[in-house]
Amino acid sequence: MAFATPPLSCLCWLTAVTLTLLALHVRPVNVQAVRKLSLYTGVIPGFSLGEMLLGNPNVTLRVYDILLGCRADKAPFTVLKLNTLIPLDDYTNVTKYLSGLTNDLSAVQSVDLSPYQVLTPALQSALNDLQSAGLSSINFTQITSVLNQPVTSFDVSTYISTMASLISYCVNPTQARWSAHKTTMETIRDSKVPAVDTAITTLKASLATLESHIAGVDNKTDMVLTLAAEADNQIQNNMTAVLSDGASAFESKLTGYVSQYATEATYLAYNEIGNCLPLWNLYRSFVVMLCNYGVDSLNGFWFSLGWGLFFFIPVVIVGITVAGYYSTMDSIRNWPEPEEEHDDEDFDDFQAKLDMLK
Contact residues for ligand NAG, defined by CB under 6 A: 56, 58, 93, 95-96, 139, 141-142, 145, 216, 219, 238, 241-242
**Cβ nearer to ligand NAG, comparing 78 with 93:** 93
Tell me how many degrees the CA angle 165-168-173 measures, rounded to the nearest 5: 125
Report in angstroms how near the CB of residue 137 gets to ligand NAG at its nearest.
8
Is residue 94 within 8 Å of 262, Cβ to Cβ? Answer: yes
Q: How far apart are CA 199 and CA 218, in angstroms?
A: 30
Report in angstroms how near the CB of residue 46 gets to ligand NAG at its nearest.
15
**Cβ nearer to ligand NAG, comparing 79 with 221:** 221
Report in angstroms how near the CB of residue 219 gets to ligand NAG at its nearest.
4
DSSP designation for 38: B
Report in angstroms how near the CB of residue 107 gets to ligand NAG at its nearest.
20
**Cβ nearer to ligand NAG, comparing 129 with 218:** 218
DSSP designation for 270: I
Report in angstroms how near the CB of residue 98 gets to ligand NAG at its nearest.
10
Judge residue 77's burial from the number of C-beta atoms within 10 Å of its C-beta, 0-12 exposed, 13-18 middle, 19 or more buried: buried
Q: How far apart are CA 66 and CA 79, in angstroms?
A: 6
**Cβ nearer to ligand NAG, comparing 142 with 172:** 142
Sign of the four-CA dihedral 18, 20, 22, 24: negative
Q: How far apart are CA 208 and CA 140, in angstroms?
A: 8
Q: Amino acid identity of 266?
A: T
**Cβ nearer to ligand NAG, comparing 139 with 168:** 139
